[in-house]
Amino acid sequence: MSVLLAITFLFCFLIGRFFYLQVVCTEKLYYLALDQWTREIPLIARRGNITDRSGVVLAGSRLSYSVFARPRAVVDIESTAETLSSLFSIDGESLENKLKQGKSSEITVVKKTAKENVEKLSAYDLSGVYYAEDNTRVYPYGDLLSRVIGFTSSDNTGTTGIEKYYDDLLSGKNGEILFDTDLVGVEIEEGSVKYLSAESGYHVALTIDVEIQLVAEQVMKKAYAEHNPRSAACLVLDPQTFEVLALAEAPSFDLNDPPRDQISLLNSLSRNSLFCDVYEPGSTFKVVTAASDIEEWLKGNPKALSTSHVFSSAVTRSVDGTTIKCWSTHANGKHANQTIAEALNNSCNPCFVDMALALGKDTFYEYLKAFHFGSVTGIDFSGEAHGLLMPCSAVRDCDLARIGFGQTIAVTGLQLACAVASAVNGGYYYTPRLLSSVTDEYGNLVKKGESVLLNRTISEKASALLSSMLEGVVRDGSGKKAYIEGYQIGGKTGTAQKYENGRIAAGKYVSSFVGFFPSDDPQYLCLIVVDEPQGTYYGSAVAAPLAKEVFQGIIDAKNIKSFV
């Protein structure tokens, strides 16, 4: 009986092993056999293009070639190494050593070489040497959108920016040609050829408008040259959809020739500061404070200050034993009898202290969270920062007072732009995005980017009141240098001191402006951030004129008629 059980067990084991090898492992064993008895010539998938919203190519690919050698199939190593060295200007001695050592079954001789070079190679008919089509990434506009598009590694893998974020869509799938060979890798004359085709990557269209991008780039380069700052950055957003229309930063670098041998410089130049870095916004944040107060007043909150409320003309406010000053001395009646609209015009800090304290930290924090401060916006880009927002439980009145005018809080440029967009578009907060659509190599739609409404921030009535006030800031107040006759432009300036090691850094400021037009139906929103401008540093003098140039460029590019 035991012998019968043993035989049965052995029989079942053999049947099971046979099933495992013939069914479960069929594909794996097939490719192992192919690898042993074939020579593979790789077919590199063509990487998909990155384009603007209208199909203008921002990143494409150029046909090139890679050359390989199989040491065991090379007949004359010395002569082969010498020939390859002369053709491709590589170290012949090093190549010869690699071929003699034979540690690898295959050696990459050169990558991304031109067609004329492989045509010369073909004439030599070197045994054990072959080439395959490759593609080289090309950026037609050089440094345009360098901190958004990003670049690829030597093997065409996305390293930074959109190239990295959408690498799985752009990269495609490599194929190969398989030739039957003997054990040392020499092709068999009567052998068969198997062709596994490559699959091209998808094309990714961004929400970027190249016409607006070119305007923003030109203005930021000018700002960098004139004000000698650490950096100058511009973000243009569609406030109705939160699509990113342009993002320019200076200094920049040529995507076709990134400084790969200077890692710290490359990391610095490729970092998207408006998405990934935070700063104290200063007076541009007063837009959020005013929006919150107006909405609460419309809701009937008795603590909120009405649009007709007249603020004390005192130049300071004392909160928790600390004194908060206005940037102005209030001499000769300046900043007297101010309403919210006039407080925005004059950018008077004490008025926004009053608004924040009147709302109280619990109510004010509800709005800060609704405007997505302290959390990512969710844009399709790697490395977005959360910003810095104190826990509500830890906030004292003196902290709340300073948050009201843009201190004791740190934001990303994107967070601020989205918050202001929501405040002036009727109170709608969408997920910002860079993706417009994804198509295959034949133009078939694979995926379409869509605007996703996350939440409401304020009512349409509050938004309309605020937009009208911000139009007054540009027409009559601190934002005058962004004014363009015949166009309804609204906005707010900002000048924020910088901190180092917990202390105010003497003479270091962030100059900014956030604006939009037309104010009664915003279609374009522009944020300008100039980090440490030299000489004049006020947002009204540095950032507002830059925003005017961007707006004028958009008006000219899109042939937008004035309302006059």
- What residues are annotated to the active site? 283
Q: What is the rounded CA–CA span in Å between residue 426 and residue 456?
A: 9
Cα→Cα distances 508→190, 387, 500, 541, Å: 76, 20, 10, 15
Q: What is the rounded CA–CA span in Å between residue 554 and residue 513?
A: 17
| Residue 262 phi, psi (nearest 5) | -125, 80
Return the HEC string of 455-518. EECCCHHHHHHHHHHHHHHHHHCCCHHHCCCCCCCEEEEEEEEEEECCEEEEEEEEEEEEEEEC
The label of the residue with tokens 């980017």 reads 449
Return the HEC string of 436-472. EEEECCCCCEEEECCCCEEEECCCHHHHHHHHHHHHH
Which residues, in sequence order, are bridge partners of residue 433? 243
Amino acid (1-letter code) at residue 476: D
Check if the beta carbon of residue 505 is closer than 8 Å to that of residue 497.
yes
- Within 8 A by CB and 6+ apart from 338, the residues are 310, 311, 313, 346, 348, 351
Whether cis (ω within 30° of 0) applies to the bond prior to 251 is yes
Return the HEC string of 312-350. CCCCEEEECCEEEECCCCCHHHCCCCCCHHHHHHHCCHH
